[in-house]
Amino acid sequence: MTSADWPAPAKLNLFLHVLGRREDGYHELQTAYQLIDLADSLSFGLREDGEIRRLEGPPSVPAETDLTVRAARQLQVAAGIRKGADIRLSKRIPIQGGLGGGSSDAATTLVALNEIWGLHMPVERLAGIGLPLGADLPFFIHGHSAWGEGIGERLTPMDLPPRHYAVVFPGIGVSTAEVFQASELTRNSPSLTIRGFLQAGGRNDCTPVATGRYPEVARALAWLARRGDARLTGTGSCVFAGFADRSQAEAALYGLPGGWSGFVALGLDRSPLQDRLAAERARQGQG
C-alpha cells in the first residue's frame, strides 16, 4: 500500500529577533512564521519488516542523514513498533534557503506515518518527537501560521493579512548552524509583542551575518530591495518581499540575474498538510 501526495509546505520568517543565548546553547527567539504555497511532496509505502528506506530524494542529501528518515526512525522508537516505510521525496523547496524545507519534510513524515502506522498520537506528542530534529518542526506539525517564541517552538496561531511574495533564491545555501554560532550575531534584541509586530514590523537579526559571510545573499537582498520591502527569511539564503497582488510580485522578479531562481508564493494561514490529513482520515473512515 502506498500513500501518496503528502505536501510539505515552505515558510517565511516575516521577522526574526534573537533575544539571547540560553544555557543549553540554543537561542531565545521571536518570529512570525508565514506558510506559503510552495511545497515538497512525499509518498510513503508501508513496510512490515521495520526498515525505513528513502527510495527517492535529493542527491545532495545522503539518505541516512535525511530528516525524513531520521523522523521516521524517531517515531518508530517512540511508538515501540516494528512497522517501516519506503519514502519518496520530491523536492521543490531550495535546500538551505531559509524556507524550512527539511523540517517541513520531517514534519510531514511524522504526521503521515502517524496515520499510516495507525498510531493515533496527538499533535503535541508528534511535536515533541520532532523538536530535537529542528526548532520549527512543531510549527509545521501544527500547520498554521504562527507567532513563535522560545527556540521557535512555543506557538500562538496567527491569521496574517493576505499577501503574495516574490522570493529569490541566489543559487547558494546558508548553514543555519554557522549563522547562529557566528561571533558577530547580535543576541540582545528586546522582546516584541504580537500587537507591536503587526503595527510596526520587525527585522531579521541574522541578516548582517548572512550577507557579510555570503556576498551573493547580499547581492540578492540589494537587488530585491529596489523592487519592494526585501528581507531575509530564517538564516537565509532566500530573500523575499510582500505585495498586495500576484501581478506586483511577478513584476518584482522581472530581469532576475542569471544563476538565481525566483518564484511567486501565496501566503497561507492553514497548511495544505492539514487538508491532506483530513482526506486520509476520511478515506480510512475516521471522520
* Per annotation, catalytic residue among 105, 136, 229, 269: 136
* Per annotation, catalytic residue among 11, 66, 105, 205: 11
User: Is the sign of the CA dihedral 192, 186, 155, 281 positive or negative?
Assistant: positive
Per-residue model confidence as pLDDT tens digits over 178-229: 999 999 999 999 999 999 998 888 999 999 999 999 999 999 999 999 999 9
Distance between CA atoms of 176 and 97, rounded to whole angstroms? 9
Cis, bond preceding 237 (omega within 30 deg of 0): yes
Range 236-262 average pLDDT: 97
Q: What is the pTM of this model?
A: 0.96
* Strand-strand pairing, 2-21 and 146-150: unpaired
Task: Report helix angle 67-79 to 123-130, nearest 10.
Answer: 120
37 is catalytic: no
E-strand stretches of 22-145: 27-47, 52-56, 84-90
Per-residue model confidence as pLDDT tens digits over 15-70: 999 999 988 878 999 999 999 999 999 999 999 999 999 999 999 999 999 999 99
Distance between CA atoms of 131 and 139, rounded to whole angstroms? 10
3-class SS shares of the chain: helix, strand, coil, % to 5: 35, 30, 35
136 is catalytic: yes
